[in-house]
């Protein structure tokens, strides 16, 4: 319930806890419990679109970003910014970042290394 409380606030979390009322998909989206709501017949298409979007780009950079996100999320804002700047500076030196910059300058699609 702690994670839910952080996402929707104490009042809504307590209402759900005390009443046991079911909320619909649109309310869940409005409250921030889900990212989006789609019709059942669009679920597979939307899931594939999200998967494609989430897996494009550098896998290494995405891994670094995910680790950094979880490391900084509970830090005070100034500390989180300082940490993020350090991570971004370090990440700019990895081969995938160098390839991304070269590809941008050469106006071509980057060729990132795939995980083995």
Q: Is residue 111 part of a domain?
A: no
| Residue 5 pLDDT greater than 70, yes or no | yes
Q: Give the per-residue pLDDT at 63.
A: 93
Same domain, yes or no: 26 and 64: no
The alpha helices in 42-94, defined as continuous H runs, are 43-55, 59-72, 77-91
Q: Is residue 100 part of a domain?
A: yes
Q: Give the per-residue pLDDT at 20.
A: 92
Assess contact for 101 and 110: CB atoms under 8 A.
no
Q: Print the domain residue range for 31.
A: 2-41
What predicted TM-score, i.e. pTM, was given to this entire model? 0.68
Residue 1 confidence class, pLDDT cut points 50, 70, 90:
low
> What is the per-residue pLDDT across 83-93, written as a single tens digit (0 to 9) for each?
999 999 999 99
Q: Quick one: tokens of 54?
A: 């989430």
Domain count across the chain: 2
Q: Quick one: tokens of 82?
A: 């300082």
Q: Averaged over 70-94, what is the pLDDT?
A: 94
């Amino acid at each position: 319930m702690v994670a839910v409380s952080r996402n929707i606030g104490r009042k809504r979390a307590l209402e759900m806890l005390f009443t046991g009322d079911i909320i619909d998909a649109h309310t869940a989206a409005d409250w921030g419990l889900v990212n989006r709501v789609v019709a059942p017949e669009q679920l597979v298409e939307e899931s594939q679109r999200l998967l494609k979007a989430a897996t494009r780009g550098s896998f290494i950079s995405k891994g670094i970003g995910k680790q950094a996100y979880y490391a900084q999320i509970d830090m005070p804002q100034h500390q989180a910014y300082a940490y993020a700047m350090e991570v971004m500076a370090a990440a700019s030196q990895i081969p995938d970042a160098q390839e991304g910059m070269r590809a941008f300058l050469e106006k071509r699609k980057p060729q990132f290394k795939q995980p083995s």
